[in-house]
Structure 1
Amino acid sequence: MSSSRDSASAGSRTFDDLVAEAAAAPTQGWDFSWFEGRATEARPSWGYARAMGERLGAVSAALDVQTGGGEVLASAPSLPAVAVATEGWPPNVAKATALLHPRGAVVVASAEDAPLPFADGAFDLVTSRHPVTPHFEEIARVLRPGGTYFAQHVGPSSVFELVEYFLGEQPEEVRNARDPEGERAAAEAAGLDVVSLRAERLRMEFFDVGAVVHFLRKVVWMVPGFTVDAYRTRLRELDGLIREEGPFVAHSTRHLFDARKR
């Protein structure tokens, strides 16, 4: 999302106009430029895309798991001789292929929960930005000994102010899912030594109800089954709240994994 709000204001636009615009906006890929002036999210201090680019420049074979539309991988200044990405959602597969093929990277259609379609020890580096679920056993399998898993994960209770606005208070097992220490244990059990694990909580602001609609359509696991029609009453209440009190504030959580295969 954008890092600052521009001068445009949604205050003069109707609820129906804002919601209709957001409901019609395309959602494929991980390009968040639509949110410019509509929402903000602070960025983690470690600068994942830059750091990932540095790692890619130092290896000969790399895999980017759940690449989305390929935007983060495509931002790297250089790619290794063997550069592969996986993605499970067909519209993203097409978008990532169009973006990455000119860079010499191959995009493989592979479901999120399926075994990675590569031989043991095929890669020096595996990367991922916001995987739905990190399958550490598969990640460790496709890494060569001494190879590295470098990834930015979504943390526990991320944007739960928004989630619970629509779904109500969530049980602790849901709130604590994606716990970084639990993931550390899973990674180590799979044969990875966690060299570094950093976590941060980051402020988000939604300036109009349309930004909320587009976010929930794009990040579909936040409110599963979200549609405008199903939540129209709650959305209308949120529209009034933002108009009266200002931006809806939430907090994302992120953690940075740097692990090495034994």
Structure 2
Amino acid sequence: MPYGRRSDRSSPSFDELLAEGAAVPTAGWDFSWFVGRATEARPSWGYARAVAERLGGRPGREVEAVLDVQTGGGEVLAFALDEAGRAVPGRRRPALVVATEGWAPNVTKAAGLLRERGGFLVASADGPLPFADGVFDLVVSRHPVKAHWEEIARVLRPGGSYFAQHVGPRSAHELVEHFLGPQPAERLDARHPERERRDAEAAGLEIVDLRAERLRMEFHDIAAVVHFLRKVVWTVPDFTVEAYLPQLRALHERIRTEGVFTAHSSRHLFDARKP
């Protein structure tokens, strides 16, 4: 999410804030609406620009075919393609640019962004990848719901790479537990990077680099919480304003008293290679 906090806001009521957060469109991964209402620190590695560098390639190791798994609204891949062209003058884009996305509100947006850049969007739910073996030099993904390691390894060419930013363990657990209560360790640690390392290696991939960071999140009003939970749907999977009205009211009062609700996201960067 972007940084900054609006100082010119009046003091809307609880009901007005709920209505505002419930009315914001959720398609795509554009978080600009949160400016002034919520912040989230960014990982130090700068994922989107790092993908752009990968797309730029190196002499003798150009990327000819790239796949973005669970692309969301296509914003990250579109940015990376544009930056790659600027960063490496004369370097053409990969000949094959493909992304998958299974959430209907994102499909149209992502298809348009990629079409403008010579790419393609395949509407595909999370699961087996609808591609032949050994098609891609590079597979990327930002915040996949789940990494299907055997499928990733299958569609990579020998020597190809998987470069991705994953959501880590206990991400935003302070927010999760406010709404759902204490969670079992199995859920909290399901995305642990070392567990994913073992799964990737079991699928035949070599881990070149694996880095993890925990990052501060701040919510400055309850509208931001409502929009976040509607947009990042796996945080509280059955969230609706009506179902969680008592928890929302309690959190609204806490933010009014303390000025901010603080949580922490967890991210890790995977750089894996197919031998």
TM normalised by structure 1 equals: 0.98
Q: 1:94 is matched with which residue?
A: 108
Q: Does 1:160 align with 2:173?
A: yes
Q: Decide which of 195, 198, 205 is 2:218's aligned counterpart.
A: 205
Asked whether the 8 Å contact 1:38–1:211 carries over to 2, the reply is yes
For residues 193 and 74 of structure 2, the distance between their equivalents in structure 1, rounded to whole angstroms, comes to 25
Corresponding residue of 1:5 = 5
Partners of 1:42 and 1:204 within 8 A in 2? yes
RMSD: 0.8
Query: C-alpha separation between the residues in 2 aligned to 1:234 and 1:211?
Result: 14
1:200 to partner: Cα distance: 0.1
CA distance in 2 between partners of 1:6 and 1:235 (Å): 21
Question: Distance between the aligned counterparts of 1:260 and 1:145, measured in 2?
Answer: 8
Q: Give the equivalent residue in structure 1 for 2:49.
A: 50
Whole-Å separation in 2 of the counterparts to 1:66 and 1:214: 21
Please state how far the C-alpha of 1:100 moved relative to its aligned partner: 1.2
1:103 corresponds to which of 96, 113, 117: 117
Q: Contact 1:29 / 1:95 at 8 angstroms: preserved in 2? A: yes
**Aligned pair 1:224/2:234, yes or no?**
no
C-alpha contact 1:205 1:248 (8 A) present in aligned 2? yes
Matched AA of 1:7: S
Q: Which runs of 5+ in 1 are unaligned?
A: none
Displacement of 1:168:
0.3
Give the whole-Å Cα distance in 1 for the aligned partners of 2:247 and 2:204. Answer: 46
| 1:68 is aligned to 2:72 | yes
Percent identical: 70
The aligned residue for residue 242 of structure 1 is 255
SS, match of residue 54 in structure 1: helix
1:8 and 1:37 in contact (8 A); partners too:
no
How many angstroms apart in 1 are the aligned matches of 2:198 and 2:9? Answer: 46
Unaligned runs of 5+ in 2: 58-62, 86-92
Equivalent position SS for 1:212: helix
How far has the Cα of 1:8 moved from its partner?
Answer: 3.4
